[in-house]
Amino acid sequence: MPQPVTTPPNSLPLYYQTLFDHLGPQNWWPARTPFEVIVGAILTQNTSWTNVERAIANLRRERLLAPLALERVSTARLAALIRSSGYFRQKAKRLKAFVRFLRAEYSGSLTRMFRTPTLALREKLLAVHGIGPETADSILLYAGHKDVFVVDAYTKRIFSRHGFVPEDVPYEELRSLIESALPRDVSRYNEFHALLVQVGKNWCRPREPRCAGCPLHSFLP
């Protein structure tokens, strides 16, 4: 049975401030260009960032971190270069799908793409092969600097354990709840998501969570 909601949404600003005071700025997303952010957002699906970093380093070495270069390289070559990210054949196809979409819709220009109203662009991104809500929102927030909150497995785990939402909360519902509880601020969304990732990695683990040492321990119901 889903657990009842016990933590009111208006407590989220305090969650944010508590984490920021304990952990400081996270400087996320680590990338040199908006396009590199997008590549990383696609590659990080179902893998660790360490594995993505190796793949991105390979692409940078081969001068492939640009839309046209990525579109021109063969899918087989691209898959080999991003092998460390896992599911590399599927991810090569997803990267190809994105750069084709970018050329077809925006003549290959990220600047033009991000001029599109956020909701309309989000719908377009979700229609691209291999781009789901989390990846689309990562692209919007971290590459496009749009005020869209990114929900991931860490976010769901933390807030369900704190009684904020049930474990099976739909992605869109949790995103809407968080966005309604926080000021619509890109830097705040960026930082809060990155801080929650750190909590999920270091304390709120899937098994044997380390609640006692967690910065959010006092918020547990």
pLDDT of residue 14: 94
pTM (2 d.p.):
0.93
Which residues are CB-contacts of 27 (< 8 A; sequence separation ≥ 6)? 194
Question: Would you state the structure tokens that stand for residue 164, as one six-digit string?
Answer: 């904020």
pLDDT of residue 89: 97
Residues 18 and 72 in one domain: no
**Which tens digit of pLDDT belongs to each residue from 61-74?**
999 999 999 999 99
DSSP assignments along 135-200, one per residue: HHHHIIIIIT--S-PPP-HHHHHHHHHTTSS-TT--HHHHHHHHHHHS---HHHHHHHHHHHHHHH
Cβ atoms of residues 188 and 16 within 8 Å: yes
Cβ atoms of residues 114 and 144 within 8 Å: yes
In a domain, 93, yes or no: yes
In a domain, 181, yes or no: yes
In a domain, 44, yes or no: yes
| Tally of domains in the chain | 2
pLDDT of residue 10: 78
In a domain, 3, yes or no: no
pLDDT of residue 150: 98
**Which tens digit of pLDDT belongs to each residue from 110-146?**
999 999 999 999 999 999 999 999 999 999 999 999 9
The secondary structure of 171-185, three-state, reads HHHHHHHHHHHCCCC
pLDDT of residue 221: 82
Question: Would you state the structure tokens that stand for residue 2, as one six-digit string?
Answer: 């889903």
Residues 38 and 135 in one domain: yes
- Which one of 125, 143, 161 terminates a domain? 143
Cβ atoms of residues 219 and 15 within 8 Å: yes
**Which tens digit of pLDDT belongs to each residue from 9-46?**
678 999 999 999 999 999 999 999 999 999 999 999 99
Residues 40 and 100 in one domain: yes
Residue 2: band (very low, low, confident or very high) from pLDDT cuts 50, 70, 90: very low
Task: Report angle CA 168, 173, 176 to the nearest 5 degrees.
Answer: 145
User: Which percentage of the chain shows pLDDT scores above 90?
Assistant: 93
Residues 54 and 137 in one domain: yes
Range of the structural domain that residue 188 is part of: 9-27+149-219
